[in-house]
Structures are given as structure tokens and as C-alpha cells.
């Protein structure tokens, strides 16, 4: 069973083999094999012309990638921590996302920016953020948040194919974990903008992103043993967002809970709530929509506080029980 890091490496390798214009650039992606070991031996397999170690200069890295993409290449950028995308935000938000539209569609930017995100590693406030809403709120960017190795592989291949800039947000804690499902061999793509119904139930619908899909899955298993059946939906891409399975599920369960790691305030998951509230499925709700999200604080360094700052399995379980018990 491949881990997420291995699945991402495999997807990149397949793309390298398929298309000569695909290349990888970033800090320590070459000889060192990537800060989290994702590129691994790719430097040795593909050479220094396709796996480029760059200086510590995120704006320059992404700028180079945008320029390469405009001239026919398909760059994969790795930014060591998603927090550092702040350094490169002009290239991401003002250039990559907009060029296609400002040039009347004459050019596009087929760039993938991969970056690890999230808390749980004791790396404190500047290396632990979940920045999904930064990217999801910029039209022109596609945003992918894989929750398992199999999806990561298929989604990354589709992202590399995509003519638009794609932000690919990988959770650090998932890198070393094999998925529940084996990673398919071959080069099958998973289309962007198609949510996955991870499991189906009749009592509650949970929509979760990234690592929260995994935490929620454990809760689903536990509750299933007690006769509470839960539908778990992983949007997989948060831009574009596929709400149809959510509507269909809520029409059956009547209860919706959303879970994200990032801070609650103005978080991505609020978009799911907003779209539900504005949909014709709203009338199916038999319970107020429950939101579980990170606290509105920088991620603390102290391990117990870091844990308390984002939803944990126990929190998800308690909230799921409560919504099912209180609203009938």
C-alpha cells in the first residue's frame, strides 16, 4: 500500500514519463528529496534539468513556474510549507490566476503548485496553517485537497493535465499514512470538481476536507457499530466545488455537519453551508447545520494546545452524536 507521499511521487513520475514538458521545481526537491520526502529519488531518475533545486525565494520560484507555463511547459512547484505561499502570493493570485483572462484567453498557465499544509507536527504558527480559503477565494485557481493516496494520485495527474493553475494542498500528517483503498496502478485520472461519497448512511451527512475526512471516517465507523449511519462526503476539490452529492445526501438524512481544519471564521467549509442554505434542499433539514472547524487563533506550539485548536476525532464524534440525538 502506497502512502500519500509515494502516491504523489508516482503521479509526478507518470506525468514526467508521459510529457517531456513536465518538470518539478522547489526548495530541496532535488538531491535532498523534498522537505517531506515527496520527490524522493526523482532527482536521480530524471536528472537536474527536470527536478530543479531552487534558492529560498518563493516569489521567484512561482514566478519562474508561471513564466515556464506561459511558454509551453507544465511546471510542478513544491513550496515547502503552504505558509510560505504568502511570499509568492502575487505570482499565484495576481499573475497565474488572472493571465488567461486578462489576455483574452490567448494564453494559459498549466502550473501545479503542490504544498504541504496543516497542523499536528509541532511546527508552530508559521508552519502549521490551513490556508484553503486563501486559494479558494481567488477565481482562476483550482484548489485540490486530497485526503488519501489513491485520490492524491488520480487528482494530481488530472491537475497536471489541467490548463489552469491548480493549488494542490497535501496534509503533512497524511504523507506517511497508507490509504484505506489501494492506489490503483496505471495512470487513471480523477476528474477535478467531482466530490466523493466516501460512505453512505441515513442519519447524518458529514462534509469534510483533507485530514478531517480521515478523522470523520473513524467516527462513522464507531457510530455505525451503534446503529447511527453517516454519509461522509469528501469534496476533493474545493474549487470548483461539487455540491450535488451533498444536496442528495441531505435530502435523505436531513442533518448536515461540516468539518474543516482551518479556522471557522470565513473558512472554506462555510461555503458548503452557504450553498446548502441557498438551495432547494434547505427544506430537507431537520437540524441546524453543525460546523466544526479550527479555532480562530494562530496554531499554538504547545502540543496539547495545538491539538485543542483543531477538531479531533472526539470532537467530531460528540458533535455527530448530539445532532442526531437532539434533532429528530
Partner 1 sequence: MSFKYPVVMPKMSMTMETGELLLFHVKVGDQVKSGDVLFEVMTDKIDMEVEAPADGVIETLVGNPGDVIEIGKPVLIMLTETEVMAFDFGGDSPAPPAPTPPPVAPAPVVAAPVVQPVAPTPPPVAPVVQAVVVQAPVAPVVVAPIIVNTSVKAVPKARVEAANRGIDLRTVHPTGPDRTITFSDVNSAQIDPAILKRQAANKALIAKGIEMTRGIAQASFNRRANATFDHAQLISAWAKVLRARPDLAAHEHVGVALIIESKYGSALPVFKDPDLVNIEELRGLVASTSDAAKNGKVPIAMLSGGTTTIFDLTTYSMSSATPLLFPNQVTSLTIGYDSQSTKNISLTIDLNFCDFYDGALLLDALIACL
Q: Which chain residues interact with partner 1 by CB under 8 A?
A: 254, 282-288, 326-328
Cβ atoms 152, 146 nearer than 8 A: yes
Q: Are 212 and 311 in contact (CB under 8 A)?
A: yes
Q: Which is nearer to partner 1, 118 or 254 (CB)?
A: 254
Strand spans (E) along 93-235 = 112-117, 142-144, 166-171, 196-199, 204-208, 230-234
49 is catalytic: no
* List 27, 100, 127, 132, catalytic entry: 127
Question: Kind and range of the H or E element at 221?
Answer: helix 211-224
Which residues is 170 bridged to in the sheet?
Answer: 116
HSE at residue 85, side-chain half, CA atoms within 13 A, is 25
Least distance (Å) from partner 1 to the CB of residue 208? 22
Nearer to partner 1, 87 or 229 (CB): 229
Q: How far is the CB of 282 from partner 1 (least distance, A)?
A: 5
Q: Considering beta carbons, is residue 34 or 201 the nearer one to partner 1?
A: 201
Question: Nearer to partner 1 by C-beta: 104 or 283?
Answer: 283
Q: How far apart are CA 234 and CA 148, in angstroms?
A: 10
Rounded to the nearest whole angstrom, what is the least distance from the CB of residue 287 to partner 1 in the complex? 6
Q: How would DSSP label each residue in 73-132?
A: -EEEEE-SSGGGGGGGHIIIIIIITTHHHHTTTS-----EEEEEE-S-SS--TTS----H
- Whether 306 and 122 have beta carbons less than 8 Å apart is answered as yes
Q: Computed over its alpha carbons, how large is the radius of gyration of the chain?
A: 20
Q: For residue 240, is the peptide bond before it cis, meaning its omega torsion is within 30 degrees of 0?
A: yes
State the nearest-atom distance from the C-beta of 288 to partner 1, in Å.
7
Q: Annotated catalytic residue: which of 10, 27, 58, 261? A: 58
Least distance from C-beta 314 to partner 1, angstroms?
21
CA pair distance 172, 142, nearest whole angstrom: 20
| Cβ nearer to partner 1, comparing 163 with 288 | 288
44 is catalytic: no
Beta bridge partners of 75: 23
Q: Which residues are catalytic?
A: 58, 127
Amino acid at each position: 500500500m502506497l502512502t500519500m507521499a509515494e502516491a504523489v511521487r508516482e503521479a509526478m513520475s507518470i506525468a514526467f514519463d508521459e510529457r517531456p514538458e513536465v518538470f518539478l521545481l522547489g526548495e530541496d526537491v532535488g538531491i535532498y528529496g523534498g522537505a517531506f520526502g515527496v520527490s524522493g529519488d526523482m532527482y536521480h531518475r530524471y536528472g537536474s534539468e527536470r527536478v530543479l533545486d531552487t534558492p529560498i525565494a518563493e516569489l521567484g520560484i512561482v514566478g519562474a513556474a508561471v513564466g515556464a507555463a506561459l511558454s509551453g511547459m507544465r511546471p510542478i512547484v513544491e513550496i515547502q510549507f503552504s505558509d510560505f505561499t504568502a511570499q509568492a502570493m502575487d505570482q499565484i493570485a495576481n499573475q497565474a490566476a488572472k493571465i488567461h483572462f486578462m489576455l483574452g484567453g490567448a494564453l494559459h498557465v498549466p502550473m501545479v503548485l503542490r504544498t504541504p499544509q496543516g497542523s499536528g507536527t509541532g511546527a508552530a504558527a508559521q508552519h502549521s496553517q490551513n490556508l484553503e480559503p486563501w486559494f479558494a477565494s481567488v477565481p482562476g485557481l483550482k484548489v485540490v485537497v486530497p485526503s488519501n493516496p489513491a485520490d492524491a494520485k488520480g487528482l494530481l495527474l488530472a491537475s497536471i493535465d489541467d490548463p489552469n493553475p491548480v493549488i494542490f494542498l497535501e496534509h503533512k500528517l497524511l504523507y506517511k499514512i497508507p490509504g484505506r483503498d489501494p492506489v490503483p496502478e496505471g495512470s487513471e485520472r480523477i476528474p477535478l470538481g467531482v466530490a466523493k461519497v466516501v460512505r453512505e448512511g441515513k442519519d447524518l451527512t458529514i462534509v469534510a476536507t483533507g485530514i478531517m475526512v480521515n478523522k470523520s471516517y473513524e467516527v462513522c465507523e464507531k457510530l455505525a457499530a451503534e446503529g447511527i449511519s453517516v454519509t461522509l462526503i469528501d469534496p476533493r476539490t474545493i474549487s470548483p466545488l461539487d455540491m450535488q452529492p451533498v444536496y442528495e445526501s441531505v435530502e435523505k438524512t436531513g442533518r448536515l455537519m461540516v468539518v474543516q481544519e482551518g479556522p471557522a471564521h470565513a473558512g472554506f467549509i462555510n461555503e458548503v453551508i452557504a450553498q446548502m442554505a441557498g438551495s432547494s434542499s434547505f427544506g430537507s433539514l431537520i437540524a441546524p447545520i453543525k460546523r466544526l472547524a479550527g479555532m480562530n487563533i494562530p496554531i499554538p506550539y504547545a502540543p496539547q494546545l495545538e491539538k485543542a485548536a483543531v477538531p479531533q476525532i472526539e470532537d467530531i464524534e460528540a458533535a455527530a452524536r448530539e445532532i442526531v440525538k437532539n434533532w429528530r
